[in-house]
Amino acid sequence: GDQLTASTVRGVKSESKTGSVSTDRVRLSLTIAIEDVFFDSYACALRINGRNIAESKFVAFGQYHTLDLEMNQPFTLGKAEWDLISLQRVKDACDITRQADVAAVTMQEGLAVVCLMTQYMTVVRQRIEVPIPRKRRGSTTNYEKGVQRFYEQIYRAIKQHIDFGVVKVVILGSPGFVRDQFFDYMMAEAVKAEDRAIIESKSKFLLVHTSSGHKGALEEVMRDPQIKARLADTKSALEARAIDKFYQMLNDEPDRAFYGYHDVHKAAENGAIGTLMVTDELFRAADVPTRKKYIQLVEDSQATNADVLVFSSLHVSGERLNQLAGVAAILNFPLVIESDEESGAEGDDGQE
């Protein structure tokens, strides 16, 4: 099975010469064979339970221990075999630009925050602070130079942190007219520099009012129904639409909507899958053969150019998919599959 090495704190009992017993908390590094994984959404931490498999002065070999992994905590994960799904998920997790299809820049005079957003989290990529002198009676030169420096830094940050090949919407939010003035500046600079990435992505920018330039202002933006409608093409929305389409297909054309491993596997064998939907829980199964068969199902489907969507079990769409045994497929064409029982009955009749 999988092995995890991480730093942890454990209570260690010690007895003094007088016979009194005390418990000290000792920080140490442990390696465990993983048996159970639980995500604590409130503490934003992974709790991994398993038996100690390395020599330790404080923890006996084979003794159970729970390792808590928090954000940005170093750890080492070992597998007997790194499959396609595991490698891709590590790659995606380490590179937020591969999964963030919404970007946001909140700003106010002298302050801007550049964020990338996924269906799981919002990550600040850069915070920009530029002192802007106040306007003086009869002269605004210093003020205008300060604003120019401020806008230049935001423009550079957008080019550095936002991949327009992945991002579908870029929210520019501010109080007053800061967002509008910056947008005009950015487009003028892009035309001068023949910056095609910015020019061709003009329609992706969404200018909205926020109460401040701090990251927290994004919460009010995401509650706006008009913003929700504009963000309808993000990854989580695509997954929601896919599961909705499946249920509609199940009602209208049941021969093109399969769920459960047996039927979906048969559809893959016939090259019929157009969209495969799988929950990530299936790739974390403790039973290695179970993991391998779902990985093979994904590979077989991709070989016939099917779209593969891996749903998070922590998202509402993933919960709906779990009600279908965690795997479902929308087929490109109707397919009728005889059940094993029917095949067996026909074989018995033939023998008689």
Q: Sign (positive/negative) of CA torsion 214, 220, 223, 226?
A: negative
pLDDT tens figures, 147-190: 999 999 999 999 999 988 888 889 999 999 999 999 999 999 99
pLDDT of the residue at 314:
66
Dig out the tokens for 340 from the structure.
């094993």
Q: Identify the DSSP state of 296.
A: H
What is the pLDDT averaged over residues 325-346? Answer: 75
Find the angle CA(104)-CA(109)-CA(111) to the nearest 5 degrees: 55
Edge-to-edge, what's the strand order for the sheet holding 64-70? Answer: 64-70, 45-52, 21-40, 3-15, 75-78
Amino acid at 139: S
Report the percent of the chain where pLDDT is more than 90. Answer: 51
pLDDT tier at 97 (50, 70, 90 boundaries)? Answer: low
Q: How far is CA 2 from CA 25, 93, 221, in A?
A: 27, 18, 41
- Which contacts (CB < 8 Å, 24+ apart) does range 342-347 have? none
CA distance 349 to 137: 101
Residue 68 has pLDDT above 60, yes or no: yes
Amino acid at 243: I
- Per-residue tokens: 234: 């993000």
Termini Cα distance of the chain: 48
Pairing, β 111-117 against β 122-129: antiparallel
Residue among 259, 262, 296 nearest 275 (CA) = 259
Say what the pLDDT of residue 232 is: 63
Are the CB atoms for 186 and 153 separated by under 8 Å?
no
78: left (phi over 0), alpha (psi -120 to 50) or beta: beta
pLDDT in tens, 225-264: 777 677 666 666 678 789 989 999 999 999 999 999 999 9
Neighbours of 76 (CB within 10 A): 10
Q: Are 242 and 309 in contact (CB under 8 A)?
A: yes
CB atoms within 10 A of CB 297: 22
pTM for this entry: 0.54
347 pLDDT band, cuts 50/70/90, is: very low
Q: What's the confidence (pLDDT) of residue 88?
A: 79
**What's residue 141's pLDDT?**
82
* Nearest residue to 112 via CA among 169, 175, 163, 204: 175
Cα pseudo-dihedral 342, 304, 328, 87, rounded to 10: 130
Model pLDDT for residues 9-50, shown as the tens digit of each residue: 887 777 777 777 777 888 899 999 998 888 775 566 889 999
Output 222 or 330, whichever has higher pLDDT.
330
